[in-house]
A and B are shown apart, each in its own frame.
Chain A
Amino acid sequence: MNFLETILIHSPPLIVAIPLLAAFLTPLIGKLNEKVRNGFVILCLLANTSLVFYLATDVLNNGLHTYIFGAKESTLPIVRIFFEVDEIGILMAVISSILSLLVVIYSWSFMKKSTGLSKYYTLILLLTAGMLGMELTGDMFNFFVFLEITSISSCALIAFWTDRGLSIDAAFKYIVISTIGALFVLFAVALLYGQYNALNMAFLAESIPVNFTFIDKIALVVLLAALAMKAGIVPMHMWLPDAYGRAPAAVAVVVVSATLASLYGVLRICFTLYGGIFNSIYVSSQAIGGFIVILAILTMLIGVLMALRQSDFKRLIAFSALAEVGYMFLGVGTRLASATSVTSYTDGSSMVTFPAYSKTALAGSVFHIFNDALDIGLLLLVAGAVYYATKETSMNKLGGLARNMRYTTVFFIIGLLAVSGIPPMNGFASKLIIYESTYQLNPLLSIIAVLSSIMLLAVFVKVFHSVFLGPSQNKFKDTVDVPKSMLISMAVIAGIIVFIGLFPNIVFDNLISPAVDALVDNSEYISSVLGGGV
Chain B
Amino acid sequence: MMAYNLPYLAVVALVIIGLYALLFRRNLIKMVIGITLIESGVNLFLITLGFRKDSVAPIYTGAPSSKSVMSLPVPQALTLTSIVIGVAVLALMLTLVIHLYRHYGTLDSGKIGGEK
A→B interface (CB under 8 Å): 79, 141, 144-145, 148, 151-152, 155-156, 159, 162, 165-166, 168-173, 175-176, 179-180, 183, 186-187, 190, 193-194, 197, 199, 242, 312, 315
In the complex, what's the smallest C-beta–C-beta distance from A461 to chain B, in angstroms?
Answer: 23
A176, B89: Cα distance in complex, Å: 9
Cβ of B62 < 8 Å from any Cβ of A?
Answer: no
| Chain A neighbourhood of B81, CB < 8 A | 141, 145
Contact A169/B89 with A180-B38, A186-B82, A187-B45 known, Cβ cut-off 8 Å: no
User: Which of chain B's residues 62-88 have a Cβ closer than 8 Å to chain A?
Assistant: 72, 74-75, 78, 81-82, 85, 88
Contact A193/B74 with A145-B85, A175-B92, A315-B115 known, Cβ cut-off 8 Å: yes
Please report the number of residue pairs spanning A and B whose Cβ atoms sit closer than 8 angstroms: 86
Closest partner residue, chain B, to A170 (CB atom): B113
Cβ of B16 < 8 Å from any Cβ of A?
Answer: no
| Chain B neighbourhood of A145, CB < 8 A | 81, 85
| Chain A neighbourhood of B42, CB < 8 A | 183, 186-187, 190
Q: Offer 22 A-B interface pairs, CB within 8 angstroms, sorted by A.
A: A79-B74, A148-B88, A151-B89, A152-B85, A159-B96, A168-B100, A169-B113, A171-B96, A172-B28, A172-B96, A172-B97, A173-B113, A176-B22, A179-B35, A179-B93, A187-B45, A190-B75, A190-B78, A193-B74, A194-B49, A199-B74, A312-B115
Q: Pick the residue among B49, B85, B103 that contacts A190 (CB under 8 A).
A: B49
In the complex, what's the smallest C-beta–C-beta distance from B76 to chain A, in angstroms?
Answer: 12
| Chain B neighbourhood of A194, CB < 8 A | 49
| Chain B neighbourhood of A144, CB < 8 A | 82
A193, B74: Cα distance in complex, Å: 10
B→A interface (CB under 8 Å): 15, 22, 28, 31, 35, 38-39, 42, 45-46, 49, 72, 74-75, 78, 81-82, 85, 88-89, 92-93, 96-97, 99-100, 103-104, 112-113, 115
A144, B92: Cα distance in complex, Å: 18
Contact across chains for A179 and B89 when beta carbons are under 8 A apart:
yes
| Chain B neighbourhood of A183, CB < 8 A | 35, 38-39, 42
Binding site secondary structure of chain B = helix
Closest partner residue, chain A, to B99 (CB atom): A168
A169, B72: Cα distance in complex, Å: 42
A145, B45: Cα distance in complex, Å: 17
Contact across chains for B93 and A175 when beta carbons are under 8 A apart:
yes
A171, B31: Cα distance in complex, Å: 15
A272, B75: Cα distance in complex, Å: 24
Closest partner residue, chain B, to A156 (CB atom): B92
A79, B73: Cα distance in complex, Å: 11
Cβ-closest 7 pairs across A and B: A169-B113, A165-B103, A194-B49, A172-B96, A168-B99, A148-B85, A190-B46
A125, B31: Cα distance in complex, Å: 30
Contact across chains for B92 and A193 when beta carbons are under 8 A apart:
no
| Chain B neighbourhood of A176, CB < 8 A | 22, 31, 35, 93
| Chain A neighbourhood of B115, CB < 8 A | 166, 312, 315
